[in-house]
Amino acid sequence: MSATVLLTFALFGCESDTSLAPKVETHHTGYHASSSLAAFFAHEEDVPAHYSGFFPLQTGHDALLTRLAMIESASHSLDLQYYIFRDDETSQLLVWRLYEAAERGVKVRLLLDDMQSRKDSDIAYLNAHPNIEVRLFNPHQYRFLRMLSWVTDGDRLNRRMHNKSMTADGVVSVVGGRNIGNEYFSFKSDVEFGDFDVLLNGPVVEETQVQFDEYWNSRFSAPMAWIQKSDRVPNSEDIEHWRKVSQIEHQFTSDTYNFDTLPLYKDIKNNQVSLHWGEASLLYDLPEKVGNGQSQLIDGLVELLASVEHTAVIISPYFVPTKAGTKALANAAKQGKNIVILTNSLASNDVFAVHGWYAKYREELVAAGIELWEMKAKAKIEHQWSVTGSSRSSLHAKVMMLDDRKLFVGSMNMDPRSAELNTEMAVVFDHPEYVLKAKQGLEGLLYTSAYKLELQNGNLVWRDFESDEVLDEEPDAGFLLKSGAWLSGLLPIENWL
């Protein structure tokens, strides 16, 4: 048995099994010039060779369509890396397309953090395809008694891979805040996430591939065959049956969800997708962060923020600045820097414990002159499909706009969990024209879909510019929700949030 296997089983607390094949280290195969994606996203002649291009995916339907188009167009390789990959309609549709790609010879590598609701048998079934390999990052050692894993090994399991990326043929990648699931794609969910990611082309795609390989080959990634074997290879009859049972097809070909009605789909068909070009770099933690807590992304972000001269717009769904962070933000504001922060209100936050600790710092931030906004629970999130089934909106985008020229998009929240426990990644673009336009669009969104926090007579209030009301308590939040957040703020759990 190889040293890698022994080390992994020592890490996961599993018994050694000499029948297991050693984990094979594999790497991306680079840019495939023969891919149809290469022809579509050809580097423009008047753009410097070291520039990368990006296309913003602001709506759920555009984000889903782009991923489907990447999978359907791939001819060589697909690498996917996600924290959450649900087992709902949109996720099943993507899995079906991945299977189709594998059937035509595309090599698929799927790296999932082991915080999934999918059955091991289902993942093993997919992994059995000769062109699909699945690995789980930092897996639970007890598969059927996961709570026992937390009791015996909670410190390790509390550290997760939060990265989100997808790359096709080494030509294009998608990086940002979205996981895979209905709520991220504006489809039939009780909550609709306002999220953001970007389609990438150019040299930064190579950086994304290198990042993926670091995680794929790390000692924390376990091949699915080590966890559960599946000797059964799916055949067309099985997949067709599953396809009909899940009722995927008709849900995405009805008049309500017809892809032909989507603007991005039309642009793709007419070869009219225009990228924004500029200097770009990828910031990311190494997988070893789950073992040593050291964050390369934080080092890069600190350097980036230290260079801010006049303006910082921070969008973070889970915002827990801590005492030190609050002091730093307040000092920056007092030095004349314009700081705007958008996060979730208590009613729109899907983790009330986060709000309980964030609330401790609001008054100090506002008193320092920081412009603090909270998203409404019934914010109007743009989506093309007329029926989403959602009754509540929640901010999920992780974005920064710095000095009206730099755009930061990634998986990282501004909280201790992202800084110290989870691994994260983000792409940084230098593009003044786009950032200025995006900032103007955000200003309009804030006045219609968010509350501005202010101090009146020493008390915190929420100003609703849309209704011209001033509220003196947490908007749209009932007694139980307020109580839960308040009690959470009393518990010593800030470093876990």
204 and 331 inside one domain: no
Say yes or no to pLDDT of 367 above 50: yes
201 and 122 inside one domain: yes
Options 162, 376, 406, 431, the catalytic residue:
162
What is the pLDDT, as a whole number, of residue 10?
Answer: 39
Number of domains the chain contains: 2
Residue 25 covered by a domain:
no
CA dist., res. 239 & res. 422, Å (int): 35
Q: What sections of 247-349 are H helices per DSSP? A: 248-251, 263-269, 289-292, 296-306, 322-334
- Residue 150 banded pLDDT, cuts 50, 70, 90: confident
471 and 346 inside one domain: yes
Burial class (CB in 10 A: 0-12, 13-18, 19+), 279: middle
Q: DSSP states of 135-174 as a string?
A: EEES--S-SS-HHHHHHHHHHHHT--B---EEEETTTEEE
Options 76, 107, 376, 396, the catalytic residue:
396
- Residue 245 banded pLDDT, cuts 50, 70, 90: very low
305 and 176 inside one domain: no
What is the pLDDT, as a whole number, of residue 389?
Answer: 40
Options 76, 107, 289, 398, the catalytic residue:
398
Structure confidence by residue, pLDDT tens digits, 64-106:
989 998 998 999 999 999 999 998 888 988 998 898 899 999 9
CA dist., res. 64 & res. 184, Å (int): 9
284 and 159 inside one domain: no
Residue 19 covered by a domain:
no
SS3 of the chain: helix, strand, coil, percent, to 5: 40, 25, 40
Structure confidence by residue, pLDDT tens digits, 423-440:
999 999 999 999 999 999
Residue 34 covered by a domain:
no
Whether 164 sits among the annotated catalytic residues: the reply is yes
pLDDT average, residue stretch 354-374? 96
Residue 282 near residue 204, CB atoms below 8 Å: yes
Structure confidence by residue, pLDDT tens digits, 410-421:
999 999 999 999
What is the pLDDT, as a whole number, of residue 194?
Answer: 85
- Residue 7 banded pLDDT, cuts 50, 70, 90: very low
80 and 205 inside one domain: yes
Options 28, 164, 355, 431, the catalytic residue:
164
Residue 387 belongs to what domain range?
A: 280-496
Residue 471 covered by a domain:
yes
CATH code for the domain of 440: 3.30.870.10
82 and 151 inside one domain: yes
112 and 182 inside one domain: yes
What is the pLDDT, as a whole number, of residue 154?
Answer: 85
- Residue 16 banded pLDDT, cuts 50, 70, 90: very low
Options 169, 197, 285, 415, the catalytic residue:
169
What is the pLDDT, as a whole number, of residue 148?
Answer: 84
Residue 130 covered by a domain:
yes
Options 213, 403, 430, 464, the catalytic residue:
403
Residue 366 near residue 460, CB atoms below 8 Å: yes
373 and 320 inside one domain: yes
CA dist., res. 33 & res. 23, Å (int): 29
- Residue 274 banded pLDDT, cuts 50, 70, 90: confident
Whether 396 sits among the annotated catalytic residues: the reply is yes
pLDDT average, residue stretch 298-322? 95
Task: Locate the DSSP E strands across 379-433.
Answer: 392-395, 399-402, 406-410, 425-430
Determine which helix (DSSP H) or strand (DSSP E) holds 362, and give its type and residue range. helix 362-367
320 and 223 inside one domain: no
Whether 431 sits among the annotated catalytic residues: the reply is no
Residue 258 covered by a domain:
no
Structure confidence by residue, pLDDT tens digits, 311-354:
999 999 999 999 999 999 999 999 999 999 999 999 999 899 99
Say yes or no to pLDDT of 18 above 50: no
331 and 420 inside one domain: yes
288 and 180 inside one domain: no
Whether 107 sits among the annotated catalytic residues: the reply is no
